[in-house]
A = this chain, B = another copy of it.
Amino acid sequence: MKNNSITSRDVDFAKWYTDIVTAAHLAAYSSVKGCMVIEPNGYAIWEKMQRILDDKFKELGHVNVALPALIPESLLKKEGELVNGFAPEVAWVTHGGSKELEERLAFRPTSETMFCDYYKDHVSSYRDLPKLYNQWCSVIRWEKETRPFLRTREIFWQEGHTIHSTSEEAMEETQKMMDVYKWFHHEILAIPSITGMKTEKEKFAGAEYTLTNEALMYNGVALQSGTSHYFGQKFSEAYDVKFLNKENKWEYVYQTSWGTTTRMIGGLIMVHSDDKGLVLPPRIAPKQVVIIPIGNDERVFEQAEKINEELNKNNVVTYIDKSDKSPGFKFAEAEVNGIPVRIEIGPRDLDNNQITFARRDTSEKYSESLDINVVDYVKNLLETIQKDMYNKAVERRNALTYNASSLEEMEDILNNHPGFIHADWCGDPACEARIKEIKGCKSRCISDEPLINGECVCCKKQAKYHVIWGIQY
Protein backbone atom coordinates (compact mmCIF):
# COMPACT_ATOMS: atom_id res chain seq x y z
CA MET A 1 0.00 0.00 0.00
CA LYS A 2 1.42 3.34 -1.09
CA ASN A 3 1.53 5.94 1.67
CA ASN A 4 -0.22 9.11 0.48
CA SER A 5 1.95 11.44 2.51
CA ILE A 6 5.07 10.12 0.78
CA THR A 7 6.14 11.21 -2.71
CA SER A 8 7.22 8.29 -4.87
CA ARG A 9 10.95 7.62 -4.79
CA ASP A 10 11.19 7.41 -8.56
CA VAL A 11 9.27 10.64 -9.10
CA ASP A 12 11.25 12.97 -6.82
CA PHE A 13 13.98 11.36 -4.76
CA ALA A 14 14.75 14.48 -2.69
CA LYS A 15 11.10 15.03 -1.83
CA TRP A 16 10.66 11.31 -1.09
CA TYR A 17 13.55 11.57 1.37
CA THR A 18 12.18 14.50 3.33
CA ASP A 19 8.69 12.98 3.24
CA ILE A 20 10.04 9.85 4.94
CA VAL A 21 11.86 11.92 7.55
CA THR A 22 8.61 13.67 8.38
CA ALA A 23 6.16 10.76 8.03
CA ALA A 24 8.25 8.40 10.17
CA HIS A 25 8.74 11.15 12.77
CA LEU A 26 12.51 10.97 12.56
CA ALA A 27 13.23 14.69 12.56
CA ALA A 28 11.45 18.01 12.24
CA TYR A 29 12.49 21.46 11.14
CA SER A 30 13.07 23.93 13.94
CA SER A 31 12.89 27.71 14.28
CA VAL A 32 16.67 27.76 14.18
CA LYS A 33 17.71 27.95 10.56
CA GLY A 34 19.65 24.89 9.46
CA CYS A 35 19.16 23.02 12.77
CA MET A 36 16.79 20.09 13.15
CA VAL A 37 14.88 18.54 16.01
CA ILE A 38 15.66 14.82 16.21
CA GLU A 39 12.30 13.34 17.18
CA PRO A 40 11.81 10.20 19.33
CA ASN A 41 11.78 7.73 16.41
CA GLY A 42 14.96 9.22 14.96
CA TYR A 43 16.68 9.55 18.30
CA ALA A 44 15.92 5.93 19.21
CA ILE A 45 17.87 4.86 16.09
CA TRP A 46 20.73 7.13 17.10
CA GLU A 47 20.69 5.69 20.65
CA LYS A 48 20.95 2.16 19.26
CA MET A 49 23.78 3.24 16.94
CA GLN A 50 25.53 4.84 19.91
CA ARG A 51 25.12 1.77 22.09
CA ILE A 52 26.50 -0.64 19.49
CA LEU A 53 29.40 1.59 18.43
CA ASP A 54 30.22 2.60 22.00
CA ASP A 55 30.38 -1.04 23.12
CA LYS A 56 32.74 -1.76 20.24
CA PHE A 57 34.93 1.30 21.01
CA LYS A 58 35.19 0.18 24.63
CA GLU A 59 35.95 -3.40 23.66
CA LEU A 60 38.93 -1.93 21.78
CA GLY A 61 40.10 -0.04 24.88
CA HIS A 62 38.61 3.42 24.34
CA VAL A 63 37.08 5.54 27.09
CA ASN A 64 34.69 8.46 26.94
CA VAL A 65 35.32 12.02 28.09
CA ALA A 66 33.68 15.42 27.70
CA LEU A 67 35.61 18.47 26.52
CA PRO A 68 34.31 22.03 26.43
CA ALA A 69 32.02 23.00 23.54
CA LEU A 70 33.71 26.40 23.22
CA ILE A 71 37.23 26.96 21.91
CA PRO A 72 39.17 30.23 22.29
CA GLU A 73 40.03 31.71 18.90
CA SER A 74 43.78 31.86 19.61
CA LEU A 75 43.83 28.17 20.48
CA LEU A 76 41.89 27.20 17.37
CA LYS A 77 44.28 29.19 15.20
CA LYS A 78 47.45 27.41 16.27
CA GLU A 79 47.19 24.81 13.53
CA GLY A 80 46.88 26.79 10.31
CA GLU A 81 45.48 24.15 7.96
CA LEU A 82 42.71 23.18 10.33
CA VAL A 83 41.54 26.71 10.95
CA ASN A 84 41.69 27.56 7.25
CA GLY A 85 39.58 24.51 6.54
CA PHE A 86 36.92 25.45 9.07
CA ALA A 87 37.07 29.25 9.28
CA PRO A 88 34.15 29.93 6.92
CA GLU A 89 31.95 27.58 8.96
CA VAL A 90 32.59 28.58 12.56
CA ALA A 91 29.86 29.96 14.86
CA TRP A 92 31.37 32.57 17.16
CA VAL A 93 30.32 33.38 20.71
CA THR A 94 31.22 37.02 21.36
CA HIS A 95 29.18 37.92 24.45
CA GLY A 96 28.71 36.34 27.88
CA GLY A 97 25.60 37.89 29.44
CA SER A 98 25.73 41.61 28.63
CA LYS A 99 29.53 41.76 28.41
CA GLU A 100 31.61 41.47 25.27
CA LEU A 101 34.23 38.76 25.70
CA GLU A 102 37.92 39.69 25.56
CA GLU A 103 38.46 36.83 23.16
CA ARG A 104 35.75 35.30 21.05
CA LEU A 105 35.00 31.59 21.35
CA ALA A 106 34.16 29.13 18.60
CA PHE A 107 31.42 26.59 19.11
CA ARG A 108 33.59 23.55 18.29
CA PRO A 109 33.51 22.55 14.61
CA THR A 110 35.69 19.56 15.68
CA SER A 111 37.90 19.03 18.73
CA GLU A 112 41.46 18.26 17.65
CA THR A 113 42.60 21.51 19.27
CA MET A 114 40.84 20.89 22.57
CA PHE A 115 42.16 17.35 22.85
CA CYS A 116 45.71 18.52 22.11
CA ASP A 117 45.32 21.29 24.66
CA TYR A 118 44.28 18.71 27.25
CA TYR A 119 46.82 16.06 26.29
CA LYS A 120 49.76 18.47 26.43
CA ASP A 121 49.30 18.80 30.21
CA HIS A 122 48.49 15.16 30.89
CA VAL A 123 51.13 13.21 29.03
CA SER A 124 54.79 13.13 29.93
CA SER A 125 56.09 9.61 29.36
CA TYR A 126 55.61 6.75 26.92
CA ARG A 127 54.03 5.02 29.93
CA ASP A 128 51.07 7.46 29.63
CA LEU A 129 50.45 6.32 26.06
CA PRO A 130 48.34 5.48 24.21
CA LYS A 131 45.41 7.67 25.22
CA LEU A 132 42.31 6.35 23.50
CA TYR A 133 39.63 8.98 24.14
CA ASN A 134 36.27 9.52 22.49
CA GLN A 135 33.37 11.89 23.04
CA TRP A 136 29.72 11.91 21.97
CA CYS A 137 28.58 15.46 21.42
CA SER A 138 27.41 17.97 18.84
CA VAL A 139 29.47 20.29 16.67
CA ILE A 140 28.48 23.33 14.63
CA ARG A 141 29.38 24.09 11.03
CA TRP A 142 27.66 27.06 9.50
CA GLU A 143 26.44 25.33 6.34
CA LYS A 144 24.42 27.26 3.79
CA GLU A 145 22.26 24.50 2.36
CA THR A 146 20.97 22.00 4.84
CA ARG A 147 18.94 18.81 4.79
CA PRO A 148 17.84 16.72 7.82
CA PHE A 149 20.55 14.25 8.90
CA LEU A 150 22.64 14.81 5.74
CA ARG A 151 23.83 18.35 6.28
CA THR A 152 22.79 20.45 9.25
CA ARG A 153 24.39 23.29 11.14
CA GLU A 154 24.43 21.36 14.39
CA ILE A 155 25.72 17.83 13.88
CA PHE A 156 25.41 15.01 16.42
CA TRP A 157 28.39 12.74 16.30
CA GLN A 158 31.19 10.95 18.07
CA GLU A 159 34.80 12.05 17.74
CA GLY A 160 37.64 9.78 18.80
CA HIS A 161 41.01 11.42 19.41
CA THR A 162 43.92 9.16 20.21
CA ILE A 163 47.63 9.71 20.75
CA HIS A 164 50.37 7.12 20.49
CA SER A 165 54.09 6.72 21.01
CA THR A 166 54.82 5.42 17.49
CA SER A 167 53.55 6.25 14.04
CA GLU A 168 52.98 2.53 13.36
CA GLU A 169 50.61 2.23 16.28
CA ALA A 170 48.74 5.40 15.31
CA MET A 171 48.40 4.23 11.70
CA GLU A 172 47.14 0.89 12.95
CA GLU A 173 44.52 2.72 15.06
CA THR A 174 43.48 4.80 12.02
CA GLN A 175 42.84 1.61 10.06
CA LYS A 176 41.26 -0.24 13.00
CA MET A 177 38.61 2.43 13.53
CA MET A 178 37.85 2.56 9.80
CA ASP A 179 37.34 -1.21 10.01
CA VAL A 180 34.86 -0.60 12.86
CA TYR A 181 32.83 1.80 10.68
CA LYS A 182 32.92 -0.68 7.81
CA TRP A 183 31.86 -3.54 10.09
CA PHE A 184 29.05 -1.37 11.48
CA HIS A 185 27.77 -0.53 8.00
CA HIS A 186 27.93 -4.06 6.65
CA GLU A 187 26.88 -6.06 9.70
CA ILE A 188 24.48 -3.72 11.49
CA LEU A 189 23.16 -1.22 8.94
CA ALA A 190 23.15 -3.74 6.06
CA ILE A 191 24.88 -1.12 3.91
CA PRO A 192 27.69 -2.50 1.67
CA SER A 193 29.96 0.52 1.95
CA ILE A 194 33.39 0.76 0.38
CA THR A 195 36.46 2.10 2.19
CA GLY A 196 39.77 3.54 1.16
CA MET A 197 42.07 6.53 1.30
CA LYS A 198 41.01 10.03 0.26
CA THR A 199 43.07 11.92 -2.31
CA GLU A 200 45.17 14.89 -1.11
CA LYS A 201 42.47 17.26 -2.27
CA GLU A 202 39.66 15.50 -0.40
CA LYS A 203 41.46 14.65 2.85
CA PHE A 204 40.66 16.34 6.18
CA ALA A 205 42.30 19.72 6.81
CA GLY A 206 45.51 19.04 8.72
CA ALA A 207 45.59 15.27 8.25
CA GLU A 208 48.50 13.31 6.77
CA TYR A 209 45.88 11.07 5.25
CA THR A 210 42.18 10.32 5.62
CA LEU A 211 40.45 6.96 5.34
CA THR A 212 36.80 7.11 4.39
CA ASN A 213 33.73 4.92 4.47
CA GLU A 214 31.48 5.59 1.46
CA ALA A 215 27.96 4.28 1.05
CA LEU A 216 25.98 4.35 -2.18
CA MET A 217 22.40 5.57 -1.97
CA TYR A 218 19.51 4.12 -3.99
CA ASN A 219 19.79 7.04 -6.44
CA GLY A 220 23.49 6.40 -7.06
CA VAL A 221 24.74 9.34 -5.01
CA ALA A 222 27.53 8.62 -2.50
CA LEU A 223 27.28 9.41 1.20
CA GLN A 224 30.54 9.76 3.11
CA SER A 225 29.70 8.23 6.47
CA GLY A 226 32.64 7.80 8.77
CA THR A 227 36.21 9.05 8.34
CA SER A 228 39.42 8.18 10.17
CA HIS A 229 42.43 10.50 10.03
CA TYR A 230 46.12 9.98 10.64
CA PHE A 231 47.79 13.23 11.73
CA GLY A 232 51.33 12.07 12.35
CA GLN A 233 52.91 14.81 14.48
CA LYS A 234 51.29 17.79 12.78
CA PHE A 235 49.02 18.77 15.64
CA SER A 236 51.33 17.61 18.39
CA GLU A 237 54.00 19.97 17.07
CA ALA A 238 51.56 22.86 16.77
CA TYR A 239 50.16 22.25 20.27
CA ASP A 240 53.34 20.96 21.88
CA VAL A 241 52.14 17.52 22.94
CA LYS A 242 55.29 15.59 23.71
CA PHE A 243 56.49 12.67 25.80
CA LEU A 244 59.71 11.11 26.99
CA ASN A 245 60.20 8.03 24.85
CA LYS A 246 61.86 4.78 25.93
CA GLU A 247 65.25 6.28 25.04
CA ASN A 248 64.43 9.11 27.46
CA LYS A 249 64.21 11.66 24.64
CA TRP A 250 61.38 14.12 24.06
CA GLU A 251 59.25 13.21 21.09
CA TYR A 252 55.97 14.54 19.73
CA VAL A 253 53.02 12.13 19.97
CA TYR A 254 51.42 10.51 16.91
CA GLN A 255 47.77 11.28 16.61
CA THR A 256 44.54 10.05 15.04
CA SER A 257 40.91 11.14 14.99
CA TRP A 258 37.81 9.41 13.68
CA GLY A 259 34.14 10.22 13.65
CA THR A 260 30.72 9.36 12.42
CA THR A 261 27.41 11.15 12.70
CA THR A 262 23.62 10.96 12.59
CA ARG A 263 23.91 11.25 8.81
CA MET A 264 24.03 7.43 8.94
CA ILE A 265 20.28 7.69 9.64
CA GLY A 266 20.00 9.48 6.29
CA GLY A 267 21.98 6.61 4.76
CA LEU A 268 19.59 4.04 6.22
CA ILE A 269 16.69 5.86 4.63
CA MET A 270 18.27 6.28 1.21
CA VAL A 271 19.61 2.73 0.93
CA HIS A 272 16.69 0.68 2.24
CA SER A 273 13.43 2.59 2.35
CA ASP A 274 10.56 2.59 -0.14
CA ASP A 275 7.36 4.38 -1.07
CA LYS A 276 5.55 3.00 1.98
CA GLY A 277 8.03 4.61 4.34
CA LEU A 278 11.06 3.66 6.38
CA VAL A 279 12.57 0.17 6.15
CA LEU A 280 14.98 -0.66 8.97
CA PRO A 281 17.38 -3.61 9.14
CA PRO A 282 16.41 -5.64 12.23
CA ARG A 283 19.77 -5.20 13.96
CA ILE A 284 19.42 -1.41 14.10
CA ALA A 285 15.63 -1.20 14.47
CA PRO A 286 14.79 0.16 17.96
CA LYS A 287 11.53 -1.82 17.79
CA GLN A 288 11.83 -5.06 15.87
CA VAL A 289 8.36 -6.57 16.07
CA VAL A 290 4.87 -5.09 16.38
CA ILE A 291 1.92 -7.25 17.36
CA ILE A 292 -1.43 -6.04 16.09
CA PRO A 293 -4.50 -7.63 17.69
CA ILE A 294 -7.55 -7.67 15.42
CA GLY A 295 -11.04 -7.44 16.87
CA ASN A 296 -12.10 -7.47 20.49
CA ASP A 297 -11.74 -11.14 21.33
CA GLU A 298 -10.26 -11.81 24.78
CA ARG A 299 -8.34 -14.80 23.36
CA VAL A 300 -6.63 -12.46 20.89
CA PHE A 301 -5.36 -10.16 23.64
CA GLU A 302 -4.17 -13.09 25.71
CA GLN A 303 -2.25 -14.55 22.77
CA ALA A 304 -0.77 -11.12 21.95
CA GLU A 305 0.40 -10.63 25.53
CA LYS A 306 1.88 -14.10 25.65
CA ILE A 307 3.90 -13.69 22.46
CA ASN A 308 4.94 -10.15 23.37
CA GLU A 309 6.28 -11.32 26.73
CA GLU A 310 8.12 -14.31 25.30
CA LEU A 311 9.82 -12.27 22.58
CA ASN A 312 10.87 -9.43 24.88
CA LYS A 313 12.17 -11.93 27.44
CA ASN A 314 14.39 -13.31 24.68
CA ASN A 315 15.76 -9.94 23.61
CA VAL A 316 13.52 -9.35 20.63
CA VAL A 317 12.22 -5.81 21.12
CA THR A 318 8.47 -6.18 20.65
CA TYR A 319 5.38 -4.15 21.45
CA ILE A 320 1.63 -4.51 21.09
CA ASP A 321 -0.21 -1.70 19.33
CA LYS A 322 -3.08 -1.27 21.80
CA SER A 323 -4.31 2.07 20.45
CA ASP A 324 -7.96 2.48 19.43
CA LYS A 325 -7.08 2.90 15.76
CA SER A 326 -8.30 0.51 13.05
CA PRO A 327 -6.09 -2.48 12.11
CA GLY A 328 -5.51 -0.96 8.65
CA PHE A 329 -4.29 2.26 10.20
CA LYS A 330 -2.01 0.33 12.53
CA PHE A 331 -0.55 -1.66 9.62
CA ALA A 332 0.22 1.55 7.73
CA GLU A 333 1.77 3.16 10.80
CA ALA A 334 4.03 0.17 11.47
CA GLU A 335 5.00 0.27 7.80
CA VAL A 336 5.85 3.94 7.66
CA ASN A 337 7.91 3.55 10.86
CA GLY A 338 9.87 0.65 9.39
CA ILE A 339 9.12 -2.04 12.00
CA PRO A 340 10.80 -5.12 10.44
CA VAL A 341 8.16 -7.73 11.42
CA ARG A 342 4.43 -7.40 12.01
CA ILE A 343 2.45 -10.13 13.72
CA GLU A 344 -1.30 -10.06 13.16
CA ILE A 345 -3.56 -12.00 15.48
CA GLY A 346 -7.30 -12.22 14.80
CA PRO A 347 -10.09 -14.51 16.08
CA ARG A 348 -10.20 -16.35 12.76
CA ASP A 349 -6.44 -16.97 12.98
CA LEU A 350 -6.90 -18.45 16.42
CA ASP A 351 -9.81 -20.64 15.24
CA ASN A 352 -7.33 -22.08 12.73
CA ASN A 353 -4.60 -22.36 15.40
CA GLN A 354 -2.40 -19.86 13.51
CA ILE A 355 -1.00 -16.35 13.44
CA THR A 356 0.17 -14.18 10.56
CA PHE A 357 3.63 -12.72 9.99
CA ALA A 358 4.33 -9.83 7.61
CA ARG A 359 7.79 -8.75 6.51
CA ARG A 360 8.32 -5.02 6.12
CA ASP A 361 11.13 -5.37 3.58
CA THR A 362 9.32 -7.59 1.05
CA SER A 363 5.67 -7.11 2.12
CA GLU A 364 5.33 -10.92 2.16
CA LYS A 365 2.78 -12.43 4.53
CA TYR A 366 2.86 -15.95 6.01
CA SER A 367 0.42 -17.81 8.22
CA GLU A 368 2.13 -20.10 10.69
CA SER A 369 0.82 -22.66 13.13
CA LEU A 370 0.67 -21.59 16.76
CA ASP A 371 2.65 -24.74 17.52
CA ILE A 372 5.93 -23.26 16.23
CA ASN A 373 8.54 -22.01 18.66
CA VAL A 374 7.73 -18.35 18.13
CA VAL A 375 11.03 -17.06 19.57
CA ASP A 376 13.18 -19.19 17.26
CA TYR A 377 10.90 -18.44 14.33
CA VAL A 378 11.06 -14.67 14.81
CA LYS A 379 14.79 -14.63 15.48
CA ASN A 380 15.38 -16.58 12.26
CA LEU A 381 13.03 -14.32 10.37
CA LEU A 382 14.83 -11.19 11.62
CA GLU A 383 18.20 -12.61 10.59
CA THR A 384 16.81 -13.59 7.20
CA ILE A 385 15.51 -10.06 6.71
CA GLN A 386 18.87 -8.61 7.75
CA LYS A 387 20.68 -10.82 5.25
CA ASP A 388 18.19 -10.24 2.45
CA MET A 389 18.33 -6.47 2.92
CA TYR A 390 22.11 -6.57 2.77
CA ASN A 391 22.10 -8.71 -0.38
CA LYS A 392 19.57 -6.45 -2.03
CA ALA A 393 21.74 -3.43 -1.23
CA VAL A 394 24.78 -5.23 -2.64
CA GLU A 395 22.89 -5.95 -5.85
CA ARG A 396 21.84 -2.33 -6.16
CA ARG A 397 25.37 -1.11 -5.48
CA ASN A 398 26.83 -3.53 -8.02
CA ALA A 399 24.29 -2.51 -10.63
CA LEU A 400 25.36 1.10 -10.09
CA THR A 401 29.09 0.39 -10.19
CA TYR A 402 30.82 1.18 -13.47
CA ASN A 403 34.21 1.28 -15.14
CA ALA A 404 35.15 4.31 -17.24
CA SER A 405 38.18 4.91 -19.40
CA SER A 406 37.35 8.38 -20.73
CA LEU A 407 35.70 11.58 -19.58
CA GLU A 408 32.96 10.97 -22.14
CA GLU A 409 32.17 7.64 -20.55
CA MET A 410 32.09 9.24 -17.12
CA GLU A 411 29.76 11.92 -18.38
CA ASP A 412 27.48 9.37 -20.01
CA ILE A 413 27.25 7.38 -16.80
CA LEU A 414 26.52 10.44 -14.69
CA ASN A 415 23.89 11.64 -17.15
CA ASN A 416 22.26 8.25 -17.30
CA HIS A 417 22.37 7.02 -13.70
CA PRO A 418 25.17 7.99 -11.29
CA GLY A 419 26.96 5.49 -9.12
CA PHE A 420 30.47 4.41 -8.16
CA ILE A 421 32.71 4.90 -11.19
CA HIS A 422 36.02 3.06 -11.26
CA ALA A 423 38.64 4.87 -13.31
CA ASP A 424 42.41 5.20 -13.31
CA TRP A 425 44.02 8.51 -12.42
CA CYS A 426 47.51 9.96 -12.88
CA GLY A 427 47.49 11.75 -9.52
CA ASP A 428 47.50 15.26 -10.97
CA PRO A 429 45.09 17.59 -9.14
CA ALA A 430 44.37 19.29 -12.45
CA CYS A 431 42.80 16.09 -13.77
CA GLU A 432 40.84 15.72 -10.52
CA ALA A 433 39.56 19.29 -10.95
CA ARG A 434 38.58 18.61 -14.57
CA ILE A 435 36.58 15.55 -13.52
CA LYS A 436 34.79 17.60 -10.87
CA GLU A 437 33.45 19.80 -13.65
CA ILE A 438 31.25 16.86 -14.65
CA LYS A 439 28.31 17.36 -12.28
CA GLY A 440 30.59 17.83 -9.28
CA CYS A 441 31.97 14.29 -9.53
CA LYS A 442 34.71 13.76 -6.93
CA SER A 443 37.10 11.02 -5.98
CA ARG A 444 35.36 8.95 -3.28
CA CYS A 445 38.49 7.03 -2.38
CA ILE A 446 41.57 5.36 -3.79
CA SER A 447 40.94 1.66 -4.37
CA ASP A 448 43.27 -1.16 -3.30
CA GLU A 449 42.50 -2.93 -6.56
CA PRO A 450 45.03 -2.94 -9.42
CA LEU A 451 44.90 -0.32 -12.15
CA ILE A 452 42.22 -0.92 -14.76
CA ASN A 453 44.04 -0.04 -17.97
CA GLY A 454 46.92 2.03 -16.61
CA GLU A 455 45.85 5.23 -18.33
CA CYS A 456 44.53 8.36 -16.61
CA VAL A 457 40.84 8.73 -17.43
CA CYS A 458 41.41 12.43 -18.03
CA CYS A 459 44.87 13.16 -19.47
CA LYS A 460 45.61 9.64 -20.72
CA LYS A 461 49.09 9.74 -19.15
CA GLN A 462 50.40 6.89 -17.03
CA ALA A 463 47.99 6.28 -14.14
CA LYS A 464 49.12 5.95 -10.54
CA TYR A 465 45.86 5.20 -8.81
CA HIS A 466 42.73 3.18 -9.30
CA VAL A 467 40.15 5.62 -7.97
CA ILE A 468 36.43 5.28 -7.28
CA TRP A 469 34.57 8.42 -8.29
CA GLY A 470 31.05 9.66 -7.76
CA ILE A 471 28.80 12.54 -6.90
CA GLN A 472 28.02 13.06 -3.26
CA TYR A 473 25.71 14.48 -0.65
Which A residues fall within an 8 A CB radius of B? 28, 30-32, 35-40, 43-44, 46-47, 63-72, 75, 87-98, 104-105, 107, 114, 117-118, 121-122, 133, 137-138, 140, 142, 153-154, 156
Contact = CB atoms under 8 A, between A and B. Distances in A.
B97 A90 contact: yes
A96 to B, nearest CB: 4
A118 B30 contact: yes
A149 to B, nearest CB: 12
Contact of A93 (B44, B47, B66, B93): B93
A154 B95 contact: no
Contact of A69 (B88, B118, B133, B138): B138
B68 A39 contact: no
B31 A75 contact: yes
Given A96-B91, A142-B97, A44 B63 contact: yes
Contacts of A46: 66
Contact of A121 (B28, B40, B70): B28
Contacts of A107: 69, 93, 107
Nearest to A47: B64
A154 B36 CA distance: 22
A64 B43 contact: yes
Nearest to A286: B63
A89 B97 contact: yes
A118 B37 contact: yes
A275 B435 CA distance: 67
A142 to B, nearest CB: 4
A37 B64 contact: no
Contacts of A28: 118, 121-122
A37 B91 contact: no
Given A30-B68, A69-B138, A71-B32, A94 B96 contact: no
Chain copies in the assembly?
A: 2
A89 B95 CA distance: 10
A333 B43 CA distance: 39
A154 B69 CA distance: 8
Given A94-B92, A98-B88, A114 B68 contact: no
Contacts of A117: 30-31
17 contacts: A28-B118, A28-B122, A30-B67, A32-B68, A35-B68, A44-B63, A47-B64, A66-B138, A69-B69, A69-B154, A70-B91, A90-B96, A90-B97, A91-B95, A92-B94, A93-B93, A95-B104
Given A72-B31, A95-B94, A156 B66 contact: yes
A69 B140 contact: yes
A363 to B, nearest CB: 28
Nearest to A325: B127
A45 B142 CA distance: 33
Nearest to A64: B43
B138 A37 contact: no
Contacts of A71: 32
Given A31-B75, A43-B64, A68-B37, A93 B92 contact: yes
Contacts of A43: 63-66
A122 B156 CA distance: 23
A217 B138 CA distance: 33
Contacts of A154: 68-70
Nearest to A46: B66
Contacts of A31: 72, 75, 117
Given A31-B72, A37-B65, A39-B65, 7 more contacts: A30-B114, A36-B68, A37-B68, A40-B64, A94-B95, A107-B107, A137-B138
A162 to B, nearest CB: 13
A44 B66 CA distance: 11
A103 B343 CA distance: 51
Nearest to A75: B31
A70 B122 contact: no
Contacts of A137: 138
Contacts of A94: 92-95
A105 B142 CA distance: 13
A36 B65 CA distance: 11
A37 B63 contact: no
Contact of A65 (B38, B70, B91, B98): B38
A97 B140 CA distance: 11
B63 A40 contact: yes
